Structure 1
């Protein structure tokens, strides 16, 4: 049996709702996108008009590749996206999992990293210490303001979990959730998605076998 107290995990597991998909960033990205698109259109009748299906298929591929491009800017390990509508509304949302590093003198002490994050500007009233699969981490929730008119960046609701990788000095995981809600990051749909994300994080487990 693997000793959880001394063995560093080689990965993690996260249980997803049926409407969510995972896109790996380091390998198999294009294959995952093709599979997601094929599955999304697999239930259509064989005689469905291709001239009507084609534009929707291309738009889905465009959105998936766009989301991957953004995730790669964050040096992500994995990207998670919801594909189905919630209460008839297509809600833009994503989860990005990436590795993080802190200065060695800080990273040796998880409590020091948590303290640093708790003191970060803008996080004082929105940050709390959490436990993720028995590991102490930090959860931050905030609303990111929209750009000035014409800036192109919409306001979003964001929740970050920052957790040290057990028995692997200096390595941390950042799990970042973001949603626009149904057009307002403070609306009920955004609240519902934040609750869903926290429920998903309660299923997070380190993989050692």
Structure 2
């Protein structure tokens, strides 16, 4: 009820126009609407610059091409999902030079134009409906607030779908958040990881906790 009252109070306020997240320096933001090519090229060049200068050219060339292929494929897949921003860990962590085993995809959902005379369904019901429709196993659904806005959190394990580019099963956590001041817009932050090879392993558990901590830093921009 309190969340609904806050959402109602926000209706008279200017709608949020953006957001910010605090992420470690190993993670890079790739905008998916404008400036995508420039961001991709910058990140790749930074990765190439970290390669050993003494490495043989016949090894470096194929490595660079494979790195670029994997990275561009991840970005293209996010664009196909109509994403706003993609976040990837692109700097070394231990012995891993360029890890694409986890990602955060930010998207926006806009509800169809509604009849102003019709009664509106509760925001929690709308959020659950927006999250429904996928075949999942072991999913967990909860609701709360993120920076004062109604939010629904869903966690599940998604099966591998090789024909769609998902070669392995993944652990996914989604936050779907009502945009303050605009009841027809919903912000979605979706985290995905393969863990250490098993989406239910200890590494996956740690990364899910980490993403929840990241979402605690979420703030709207007006």
Q: Please tell me the TM-score bracket, short chain as reference.
A: 0.7 to 0.9
Scaled by the length of structure 1, the TM-score of the pair is 0.83
- 1:153-164 superposed matches below 5 A: 153-164=167-178
Deviation at 1:146, TM superposition (A): 3.3
- 1:24-173 superposed matches below 5 A: 24-44=31-51, 48-84=55-91, 86=93, 88=95, 90=99, 92-103=101-112, 104=114, 109-114=122-127, 116=129, 126-146=140-160, 153-173=167-187
Q: Deviations over 1:134-191 (max 9, x none)?
A: 111100001113359xx97421101010001110230111111111111110111111
Tell me: CA distance 1:10–1:123, structure 2 relative to 1, closer, same or farther (3 Å).
farther
Segments ≥4 residues shifted beyond 6 Å: 105-108, 118-121
**How many residues align structurally?**
203
Scaled by the length of structure 2, the TM-score of the pair is 0.79
Tell me: CA distance 1:124–1:160, structure 2 relative to 1, closer, same or farther (3 Å).
same
| RMSD value, Cα | 2.9
Q: Deviations over 1:26-48 (max 9, x none)?
A: 01111001110111232446555
Tell me: CA distance 1:50–1:125, structure 2 relative to 1, closer, same or farther (3 Å).
closer
The reply on whether 1:10 has 2:23 as its aligned counterpart is no
Deviation at 1:124, TM superposition (A): 9.1
Q: Which moved more, 1:124-133 or 1:190-199?
A: 124-133
In 1, are the aligned partners of 2:155 and 2:172 still within 8 Å (CA)? yes
| Gapped regions of structure 1 (runs ≥ 5) | none
Q: Could you tell me how far apart the structure 2 residues matched to 1:127 and 1:59 are?
A: 37
| Gapped regions of structure 2 (runs ≥ 5) | 1-9
